[in-house]
């Protein structure tokens, strides 16, 4: 496990690892981070440095080490019900972060359960044990029925390389495309960008020739060189943006995709949106032929990121979320450790 040079007296958070880019941004909070790795159900056992380097104030621990640790954590950060259940023996406040819509999670896992029943079960459990729920967008919060605390992820545009767009190609970054085809509207993606050169990046072992970036520097060079970015999503199952598309915007790429009520893209200004595959392909060809236009639209995308996804705003908002979680914990109805082996719900528990 990796040691940290952060002062030992600093407050510490216990964080379950899920999506490395999201966990990485917690480094801006100023806490020591104990990040739990080697979790069941995650495609990589440790910390995936192809996505992000380990934060300087962090160390890696196993679940058993975390449960037995003598450290008094200021707060525990979980990402699904499995994490909440695994943390039930720890005596500290906890946050559940919602990264997916309920409908999308059910569809991705191929479940046939009643979404309203799942939603009701989660509400009752978090209220019982005093957990605080944070959603990464209002779209996802509404899906689960949690509207009170929406904390958008934070991105520092200064960490990306100056846009060049020298490669007349589109770019899309996504893991496990095959299992998420309906969520991603992949049929629409394939029709819209048929015949258009597109680079796919991500962990997709069932797609020949598609690989994850070697590391974050490699990913930043990839973003720098491509002409535009692609994000398509079913408006009933997924949000109109994710961290990958927002990072592309921060790197100065215009974004092309289908129309979505929660998309941060302004059509014709910071990218192009259309539900007509042929029309979207037409826009893609315009950008392939006009690098200056792509750069101009990409600068507008960067401004949107600065306004909506500020890292400073994330720091202030999530720090507030932690304090809310601490207040809720001390007014909880039941100590989670007193619940004898709670049953896991049939969906939305995977990593």
Assign residue 48 the CATH number of its domain: 3.40.50
Phi, psi torsion values for 85, nearest 5 degrees = -70, -40
Clarify whether residues 218 and 263 are in a common domain: yes
Clarify whether residues 76 and 170 are in a common domain: no
Mean per-residue pLDDT of the chain: 91
Clarify whether residues 317 and 292 are in a common domain: no
- The answer to whether residue 348 scores a pLDDT higher than 70 is no
C-beta neighbour count of 318 within 10 angstroms: 23
Residue 47 and residue 18: Cα distance in Å, rounded?
Answer: 9
pTM here?
A: 0.89
Q: What is the pLDDT of residues 51-69, one digit of tens each?
A: 999 998 999 999 999 999 9
Nearest to 241 by CA among 216, 227, 259, 218: 259
Clarify whether residues 289 and 324 are in a common domain: no
Structural domain boundaries enclosing 184:
157-308
Clarify whether residues 303 and 215 are in a common domain: yes
Q: What is the pLDDT of residues 146-172, one digit of tens each?
A: 999 999 999 999 999 999 999 999 999
Q: What is the pLDDT of residues 238-271, one digit of tens each?
A: 999 999 999 999 999 999 999 999 999 999 999 9
Assign residue 259 the CATH number of its domain: 3.40.50.2000
Clarify whether residues 321 and 300 are in a common domain: no
What the block records as the tokens of 31 is 């806490």
Mean pLDDT of 12-41: 94
Residue 2 and residue 148: Cα distance in Å, rounded?
Answer: 36
Clarify whether residues 146 and 189 are in a common domain: no
Clarify whether residues 77 and 181 are in a common domain: no
The residue whose two tokens read 């039941």 is: 334
Split into its structural domains, the chain has a count of: 2
Residue 252 and residue 207: Cα distance in Å, rounded?
Answer: 28
Q: What is the pLDDT of residues 316-342, one digit of tens each?
A: 999 999 999 999 998 876 777 666 554
Clarify whether residues 149 and 283 are in a common domain: no
Report H helices in the chain.
20-24, 63-68, 81-86, 102-109, 115-129, 138-144, 186-192, 216-225, 243-250, 277-289, 291-308, 311-329
Q: Give the range with max mean pLDDT: 48-62, 83-97, 171-185, 274-288.
A: 274-288
Last residue of some domain: 308, 327, 346?
308
């Amino acid at each position: 496990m990796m040691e940290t040079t952060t002062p030992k007296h600093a407050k510490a958070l216990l964080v379950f690892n899920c999506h490395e880019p999201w966990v990485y941004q917690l480094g801006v909070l100023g806490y020591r981070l104990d990040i739990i790795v080697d979790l069941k159900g995650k495609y990589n056992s440790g910390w995936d440095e192809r996505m992000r380097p380990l934060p300087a104030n962090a160390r890696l621990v196993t679940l058993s080490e975390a449960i037995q640790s003598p450290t008094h954590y200021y707060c525990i950060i979980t990402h699904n019900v499995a994490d909440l259940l695994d943390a039930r023996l720890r005596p500290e406040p906890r946050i559940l972060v919602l990264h997916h819509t309920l409908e999308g999670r059910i569809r991705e896992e191929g479940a046939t359960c009643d979404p309203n029943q799942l939603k009701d079960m989660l509400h009752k459990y978090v209220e019982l044990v005093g957990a605080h729920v944070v959603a990464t967008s209002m779209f996802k919060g509404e899906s689960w029925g949690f509207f009170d605390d929406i904390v958008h992820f934070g991105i520092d545009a200064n960490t990306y390389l100056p846009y060049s767009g020298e490669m007349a190609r589109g770019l899309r970054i996504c893991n496990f495309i095959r299992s998420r085809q309906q969520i991603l509207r992949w049929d629409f993606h394939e029709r819209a960008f048929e015949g258009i050169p597109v680079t796919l990046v991500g962990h997709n072992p069932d797609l020949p020739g598609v690989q994850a970036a070697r590391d974050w520097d490699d990913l930043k060079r990839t973003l720098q060189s491509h002409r535009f970015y692609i994000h398509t999503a079913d408006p009933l199952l997924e949000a109109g943006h994710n961290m990958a598309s927002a990072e592309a915007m921060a790197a100065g790429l215009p974004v092309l995709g289908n129309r979505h009520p929660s998309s941060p893209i302004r059509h014709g200004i910071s990218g192009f949106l259309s539900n007509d595959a042929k029309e979207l392909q037409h826009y893609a060809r315009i950008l392939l032929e006009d690098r200056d236009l792509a750069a101009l639209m990409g600068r507008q995308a960067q401004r949107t990121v600065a306004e909506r996804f500020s890292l400073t705003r994330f720091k202030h908002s999530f720090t507030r979320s932690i304090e809310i979680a601490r207040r809720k914990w001390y007014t909880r109805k039941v100590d989670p450790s007193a619940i004898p082996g709670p049953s896991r719900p049939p969906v939305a528990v995977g990593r």
